[in-house]
Amino acid sequence: MTVVTDSIVADMSLAPNGHLKIDWVREHMPVLNRIRERFEKEKPFAGLKVAICLHLEAKTAYLGKVIQAGGAEVTMTGSNPLSTQDDVCAALVEDGIRVFAKYNPSPEEYKSHLIKTLETRPDLIIDDGGDLITILHSERQDLISQVRGGAEETTTGILRLKALEKEAKLNFPMVAVNDAFCKYLFDNRYGTGQSVWDGIDRTTNLVVAGKTVVVAGYGWCGKGVALRAKGLGAKVIVTEIDAIKAVEAYMDGFEVMSMEEAAKHGDYFVTVTGNRDIIRKEHYEVMKDGAILSNAGHFDVEINKVDLNAMSKSVRTVRKDIEEFVLNDGRKVYLLAEGRLVNLAAGDGHPAEIMDMTFALQAVGLEYVSKNYEQIGKKVLNVPYELDAMVAQYKLEALGIKIDTLTPEQKAYLESWVEH
Ligand code: ADE
């Protein structure tokens, strides 16, 4: 394998550890392995360049290798400055994938890595949060013409894509991987539920049982975070802006109230809304001494850091990924991972068996767009149901689980409006 030499990574000597990490996750990603075997034979991406902007940790690296096995020339960059793992990046470069990414770059460096990735003039794009697509449709339209299409990982990115589509500015088809059943039912709910608490627990090393956890947002990710907080023994409060989701949270057994009220009760806060300023000045004013704040949404805008800094007389790092803010009245508030998504900035992201399905959808979704981009047109589309169902079937087979099939009589019964 030739090493791609124009990569930008922190330290190539870290590669052996990166290889170990990638080997470990590969053993736990049977669905993606099955797709890789087919890609190796069929080479669906032969002659194409693929740009991938994702949280650059081991599972993502393995997706890059699967796309490469499908014949693509792959370039990867990070979708968050704190989620990139330098050892994984070094291993990828050794495996012939071009990488522009390092842990904790300056904002300028981070942006330059995105731009360098686009300057490879990709035919296909995998995005997470919509940064590559936004740059292509705004400041670097000169790099857009050869792009066939792509796939987007997150709720946040899909919102941005739909805004582009609504203004009739989207230049190519994008598959909304987030909206596939095999994504949000498992990744958003069980993946986020587990990885957020893994990130918080390994960072704080404190007990959750008996404490009050405030979860802001009861989408699929919020549901998972609240469910696992309950499992850890916490009293859980949910805040929402959507009446239906609020009723759902109530019926699921959680207390539901406004953030104004919840702010007084929380020991832990986790924001999972995709929106800005969820926790802000008026909330810090009433918080308990020692409250721990974390975010699991894509961007670091959910916990307002400008307000927090303005209200604090001192700030210091008290433990890796924990900043202590001493407010002007002496109360302390702790912020994890700079308010960036805690499961990836202070952890390894979702479990491998979960990302197995998500990244299988990315791989087959990208293949679908690559083959059908002309017929699809310039729009945001869902992963076709057959591909979603195929990923679930592969997962069942990997788990050794057999399910029932309809008898001919049952099928006829379901399809008839007479025979009931
Ligand atoms: N690992 C890679 N991408 C991830 C994501 N979007 N969420 C959680 N873990 C991940």
DSSP-derived secondary structure for 156-216: HHHHHHHHHHHTT---S-EEEGGGSHHHIIIIIIIIHHHHHHHHHHHHH----TTSEEEEE
Residues 133 and 139: their CA atoms lie apart, in Å, by 11
Determine the pLDDT at residue 141: 96
Quick check: 144 and 136 in contact, CB under 8 A?
Answer: yes
Task: Give me the CATH number covering residue 121.
Answer: 3.40.50.1480
Which residue out of 28, 60, 194, 295 has the highest number of ligand 1 atoms within 8 Å of its CB and is therefore the one to mutate?
A: 60
Could you tell me if the CB of 350 is within 6 A of ligand 1?
yes
Instruction: Decide: residue 178, CB within 10 A, 0-12 exposed, 13-18 middle, 19+ buried.
Output: buried
Please indicate, yes or no, whether residues 17 and 165 belong to a single structural domain of this protein.
yes
Quick check: 176 and 157 in contact, CB under 8 A?
Answer: no
Determine the pLDDT at residue 418: 83
Q: Considering its fold, how many domains does the chain have in total?
A: 2
Nearest residue (by CA) to ligand 1, atom 9, is 349
Q: Which two tokens stand for residue 10?
A: 């922190």
For the segment 78-109, what is each residue's pLDDT rounded down to a tens digit? 999 999 999 999 999 999 999 999 999 999 99
Identify whether 413 is part of a domain.
no
- The secondary element (H helix, E strand) that includes residue 34 is helix 30-42
| Close Cβ partners of 31 (under 8 Å, ≥ 6 residues apart) | 356, 357, 360, 391, 394, 395, 398
- With b meaning 16 or more CB within 10 Å and e meaning fewer, what string describes 250-270? eeeebbbbebeebbebbbbbb
90 — phi, psi (to 5°)? -60, -40
Could you tell me if the CB of 55 is within 6 A of ligand 1?
yes
Please indicate, yes or no, whether residues 338 and 363 belong to a single structural domain of this protein.
no
Which residue out of 22, 355, 361 has the highest number of ligand 1 atoms within 8 Å of its CB and is therefore the one to mutate?
A: 355
Please indicate, yes or no, whether residues 199 and 165 belong to a single structural domain of this protein.
no
Please indicate, yes or no, whether residues 263 and 138 belong to a single structural domain of this protein.
no
Quick check: 12 and 90 in contact, CB under 8 A?
Answer: yes
Identify whether 128 is part of a domain.
yes
Nearest residue (by CA) to ligand 1, atom 1, is 349
What 3-state DSSP class applies to 91?
helix
Determine the pLDDT at residue 328: 96
Identify whether 420 is part of a domain.
no
Which residue out of 350, 353, 356, 361 has the highest number of ligand 1 atoms within 8 Å of its CB and is therefore the one to mutate?
A: 350
Ligand 1: centre distance to CA 83 (Å):
9
Determine the pLDDT at residue 4: 67
Q: Report the atom number in ligand 1 closest to the C-alpha of 349.
A: 9
For the segment 217-245, what is each residue's pLDDT rounded down to a tens digit? 999 999 999 999 999 999 999 999 999 99
Could you tell me if the CB of 355 is within 6 A of ligand 1?
yes
Identify whether 417 is part of a domain.
no
Ligand 1: centre distance to CA 128 (Å):
9
Nearest residue (by CA) to ligand 1, atom 2, is 55
Quick check: 269 and 216 in contact, CB under 8 A?
Answer: yes
Residue 381's DSSP bridge partners are 175
Could you tell me if the CB of 128 is within 6 A of ligand 1?
yes
Question: CA torsion angle for 58, 7, 178, 340 (degrees, to 10)?
Answer: 80
Residues 59 and 23: their CA atoms lie apart, in Å, by 10
- Sort strands 291-295 and 332-336 into parallel, antiparallel or unpaired: parallel
Ligand 1: centre distance to CA 233 (Å):
26
Please indicate, yes or no, whether residues 143 and 207 belong to a single structural domain of this protein.
no
Please indicate, yes or no, whether residues 235 and 321 belong to a single structural domain of this protein.
yes
Please indicate, yes or no, whether residues 173 and 32 belong to a single structural domain of this protein.
yes
Please indicate, yes or no, whether residues 306 and 173 belong to a single structural domain of this protein.
no
Q: Which two tokens stand for residue 37?
A: 């075997």
Ligand 1: centre distance to CA 340 (Å):
13
Of the chain, the end-to-end C-alpha distance in Å amounts to 63
- Sort strands 149-152 and 235-239 into parallel, antiparallel or unpaired: unpaired
Please indicate, yes or no, whether residues 364 and 296 belong to a single structural domain of this protein.
no
Task: Give me the CATH number covering residue 278.
Answer: 3.40.50.720
What 3-state DSSP class applies to 418?
coil
Please indicate, yes or no, whether residues 290 and 385 belong to a single structural domain of this protein.
no
Identify whether 385 is part of a domain.
yes
Q: What residue type is 163 in one-letter code?
A: A
Ligand 1: centre distance to CA 54 (Å):
7
Please indicate, yes or no, whether residues 270 and 152 belong to a single structural domain of this protein.
no
Could you tell me if the CB of 57 is within 6 A of ligand 1?
yes
Positive/negative CA dihedral, 79, 156, 302, 224: negative
Identify whether 322 is part of a domain.
yes
Ligand 1: centre distance to CA 281 (Å):
30
Identify whether 5 is part of a domain.
no
Identify whether 7 is part of a domain.
no
Quick check: 153 and 160 in contact, CB under 8 A?
Answer: no
Residues 238 and 228: their CA atoms lie apart, in Å, by 13
Residue 300's DSSP bridge partners are none
Low-confidence ranges of the chain (pLDDT < 50): none
Determine the pLDDT at residue 2: 55
Residues 287 and 66: their CA atoms lie apart, in Å, by 47
pTM of the model: 0.94
Q: Give the residue numbers spanning the domain of 17.
A: 12-183+350-399
Please indicate, yes or no, whether residues 57 and 116 belong to a single structural domain of this protein.
yes
Question: CA torsion angle for 50, 163, 279, 297 (degrees, to 10)?
Answer: -30
Ligand 1: centre distance to CA 98 (Å):
20
- Sort strands 235-239 and 98-100 into parallel, antiparallel or unpaired: unpaired
| Structural domain ending residue among the three candidates 321, 345, 369 | 345
Could you tell me if the CB of 153 is within 6 A of ligand 1?
yes
Which residue out of 28, 29, 57, 194 has the highest number of ligand 1 atoms within 8 Å of its CB and is therefore the one to mutate?
A: 57
